[in-house]
């Protein structure tokens, strides 16, 4: 159909479900369609706050390389070396970065052992463990600090980031 008409083609996964299951269904379904170059506009349809639909749509487009802008947050899975509340920290970082118009990657790592190495692909990152934390830029440790200072240190760095 996309090849047969001059009209924009709107694609979406109707009644995808809750925030969790609907995001997975939308990402897979829309990802396949958009990756093939099909579609001019999209709709993510979730049960819940429509703002979540917009956030999900933007993330799908960014992940496929079809949209730029916004900070891409990556974080490691928890493991035996994690000595910090990584889940809470990663969620706080995700919320905090929504207010920045930067096209960079931020890493949130759970330990100071693998954190710098895993964060080397990120522009900036933080890693925590045993009460201390690290600020990392391009895989290089820039500063060591107390764990409770990590979020503020990251915020200060983002506030000063050169576009």
d(CA 64, CA 31): 7
Q: Looking at the structure, do residues 131 and 59 belong to the same domain, yes or no?
A: no
Q: Looking at the structure, do residues 154 and 82 belong to the same domain, yes or no?
A: yes
Note the pLDDT of residue 16.
Answer: 78
Q: Looking at the structure, do residues 91 and 126 belong to the same domain, yes or no?
A: yes
Q: Looking at the structure, do residues 155 and 92 belong to the same domain, yes or no?
A: yes
- What is 19-59 written as a DSSP string? HHHHHHHHHHHHHHHHHTT--SEEEEEESS-HHHHHHHHHH
Note the pLDDT of residue 130.
Answer: 83
Domain-ending residue, one of 19, 34, 63:
63
- Cβ(121)–Cβ(105) under 8 Å? yes
Q: Looking at the structure, do residues 57 and 77 belong to the same domain, yes or no?
A: no
**CATH number of the domain residue 127 falls in:** 3.30.413.10
Note the pLDDT of residue 113.
Answer: 76
Q: Indicate whether 131 pLDDT > 70.
A: yes
- What is 69-114 written as a DSSP string? -S-EEEEPPP-TT--S-HHHHHHHHHHHHTT-----EEEEES-TTT
pLDDT tens-digit map of 29-86: 999 999 998 899 999 999 999 999 999 998 999 899 898 888 999 998 888 888 888 9
Q: Looking at the structure, do residues 56 and 78 belong to the same domain, yes or no?
A: no
Domain membership of residue 97 (yes or no) is yes
Note the pLDDT of residue 15.
Answer: 80
Q: Indicate whether 163 pLDDT > 70.
A: no
Picking from 83, 142, 48, 66, the residue whose alpha carbon sits closest to that of residue 57 is 66
- Residue 30 region by backbone torsions, left for phi larger than 0, else alpha for psi between -120 and 50, else beta: alpha
Q: Looking at the structure, do residues 151 and 89 belong to the same domain, yes or no?
A: yes
d(CA 2, CA 37): 9
Q: What are phi and psi of 62, to 5 degrees?
A: -65, -40
SS3 137: strand
pLDDT tens-digit map of 84-102: 889 999 999 999 998 898 9
Q: What total of structural domains would you count in the chain?
A: 2
Domain containing 152 equals 72-159
Q: Which of 10-19, 32-41, 113-122 has the lowest average pLDDT?
A: 113-122
Q: Looking at the structure, do residues 59 and 89 belong to the same domain, yes or no?
A: no
Q: Looking at the structure, do residues 39 and 86 belong to the same domain, yes or no?
A: no
Q: Looking at the structure, do residues 82 and 59 belong to the same domain, yes or no?
A: no
Domain-ending residue, one of 45, 63, 81:
63
d(CA 68, CA 72): 10
């Amino acid at each position: 159909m996309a090849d047969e008409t001059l009209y924009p083609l709107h694609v979406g996964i109707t009644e995808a479900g809750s925030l969790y299951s609907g995001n997975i269904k939308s990402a897979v379904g829309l990802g396949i369609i958009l990756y093939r170059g099909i579609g001019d506009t999209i709709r993510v349809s979730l049960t819940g706050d429509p703002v979540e639909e917009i956030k999900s749509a933007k993330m799908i487009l960014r992940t496929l390389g079809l949209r730029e802008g916004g900070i891409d947050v990556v974080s490691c899975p928890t493991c035996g070396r994690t000595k910090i509340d990584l889940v809470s920290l990663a969620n706080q970082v995700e919320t905090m970065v929504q207010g920045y118009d930067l096209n960079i990657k931020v890493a949130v790592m759970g330990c100071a052992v693998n954190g710098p190495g895993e964060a080397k692909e990120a522009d900036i990152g933080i890693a925590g463990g045993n009460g201390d934390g690290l600020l990392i830029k391009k895989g290089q440790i820039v500063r060591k600090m107390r764990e409770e200072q990590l979020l503020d240190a990251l915020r200060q760095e983002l506030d000063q980031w050169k576009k």
